[in-house]
Amino acid sequence: MSYFEKIQKTTLKEEPIIMAIETSCDETAVAIVKNGREILADEIISSATEHAKFGGVVPEIASRTHTTAILTATENALKSAKLTLDDIDAFAVTEGAGLLGALLVGVSFAKSLAFSLDKPLVPVSHIKGHISAAYLADKSLEPPFITILASGGHTAIVAVEDYYNINVLGSTIDDAVGEAFDKVARVLGLSYPGGPNVEKLAKDGQNVISLPKMLKNYDGGEYDFSYSGLKTAVINYVHTQESKGLEVKKEDVAASFQHSAIDVLIEKAIKAAEQFNYKTIAISGGVGANGYLREALKKAAESKGFKLILPEKRYCTDNAAMIGAEGYLQYKKRNFADLTLNAKAVVPLK
Ligand code: KG4
Ligand code: ZN
């Protein structure tokens, strides 16, 4: 009997223990999650400092670091959960979206574990993983809810209808919000990763520079975003000031940009929850770690009576626990892959 034939006969565990592997970008992450909600181990080895020298992620360095870090991360995860590989019921892995070479390390590693132990291999979408981090933050959370998906590659207001169906109410028509943070960081001379550094600088600044309100003349979807104009406005402001020999108060630029970039996310999420009668709002993706977003959303949600799900900052940025949370849902549906599973640079958001 082939591996896949055996796997299809697997009896599902009531409370499965899933090892989750995430290598889509510059974090080599391995987590062990019980029942989709309880984190038994959560290891992250980041190569961010390596990339910082180059001002952004260098795919080749990311892939190479994954190959050396993945075994250590796995051993550390098992050790901290006090488990052995025999205790693992399934292996979930990010199949995409992300850097192909980086993803391939995780996919090949998960495949070999699943194959050698005759356990299911569960492919997971990175973005669905970000959304499912909400289930780790509130163990009793059930859909429906609205989530603000704000990462380096995506910006969207998403209605999570049930565990398996999402409805994208609107998304960015150009840059993602995290991408805008990263580009503004570069203009301000801040190092990679840009988002946290812009946030840090903004703490000493004021929202005093007038930047364009987004999508002023755009007649598309009510929940869509555009970050390209805001980014250009920041670049133009800095260049104009410099060419006139005027001071650029970088702290104020950072604070003003942060307000413009974040306020619109909050406005649209609240509006969507009100219009479609959702009671709960969550955040997902790396920008969800932004302190200003967290504070402002908390205030806005509380004043309107919405329940707020704020995953810990560590579970907003890339991690493997979120892949375990989403992997659990896919496991329950028996969405198992065979050994032809391949990495995907792009996975549609649906
Ligand atoms: O979700 P994530 O870790 O990776 C992707 O799937 O893209 O998101 C990374 C993005 C980067 O653009 C990074 O600059 C941004 O999230 N980010 C932040 C903060 N932490 C990470 N942006 C603003 N403030 C932060 N504290
Ligand atoms: Zn991510």
| Order of strands, sheet of 17-22, starting from the edge strand that comes earlier in the sequence | 38-46, 27-34, 17-22, 90-96, 121-125
Per-residue model confidence as pLDDT tens digits over 250-276:
999 999 999 999 999 999 999 999 999
The angle at the Cα of 12, spanning 350 to 125, to the nearest 5 degrees, equals 20
| Ligand (nearest to CA of 289) | 1
- 193 against 9, higher pLDDT: 9
Name the residue at shortest CA distance from atom 13 of ligand 1.
195
CA-to-CA distance for 243 and 238, rounded, in angstroms?
Answer: 9
- Regarding the beta carbon of 27 and ligand 1, being less than 6 Å apart is answered no
* 3-131+317-332 and 143-314 in the same fold: yes
CATH of domain 3-131+317-332: 3.30.420.40
Name the residue at shortest CA distance from atom 23 of ligand 1.
195
β partners of residue 29: 22, 44
- Regarding the beta carbon of 195 and ligand 1, being less than 6 Å apart is answered yes
Q: How far is CA 60 from the centre of its chain?
A: 21
Asked whether the beta carbons of 102 and 59 are under 8 A apart, the reply is yes
Position 283 pLDDT exceeds 70: yes
DSSP secondary structure string for all residues of 207-225: S-S--PPTTTT--S-TT-B
β partners of residue 155: 150
Q: What is the pLDDT of residue 217?
A: 52
CATH of domain 143-314: 3.30.420.40
- Regarding the beta carbon of 289 and ligand 1, being less than 6 Å apart is answered yes
pLDDT-based confidence at residue 349 (cuts at 50, 70, 90): confident
Q: What are phi and psi of 30, to 5 degrees?
A: -135, 130
Q: Which two tokens stand for residue 29?
A: 């992450």
Per-residue model confidence as pLDDT tens digits over 108-143:
999 999 999 999 999 999 999 999 999 999 999 999
CA of 318 to the centre of ligand 2 (A): 5
Name residue 94's amino acid.
Answer: T
> Where do the domains of the chain lie?
3-131+317-332, 143-314
- Regarding the beta carbon of 152 and ligand 1, being less than 6 Å apart is answered yes
- Regarding the beta carbon of 311 and ligand 1, being less than 6 Å apart is answered no
Q: How far is CA 129 from the centre of its chain?
A: 7
Per-residue model confidence as pLDDT tens digits over 17-75:
999 999 999 999 999 999 999 999 999 999 888 898 888 899 999 999 999 999 999 99
Average pLDDT over every residue of 328-336: 98
Sole residue written with tokens 């992997």: 327
| Ligand (nearest to CA of 129) | 2
Position 314 pLDDT exceeds 70: yes
Name the residue at shortest CA distance from atom 12 of ligand 1.
178
DSSP secondary structure string for all residues of 258-278: HHHHHHHHHHHHHHHHHHHT-
DSSP 8-state assignment for residue 85: G
Average pLDDT, whole number, for the chain? 95
Predicted model pTM: 0.97
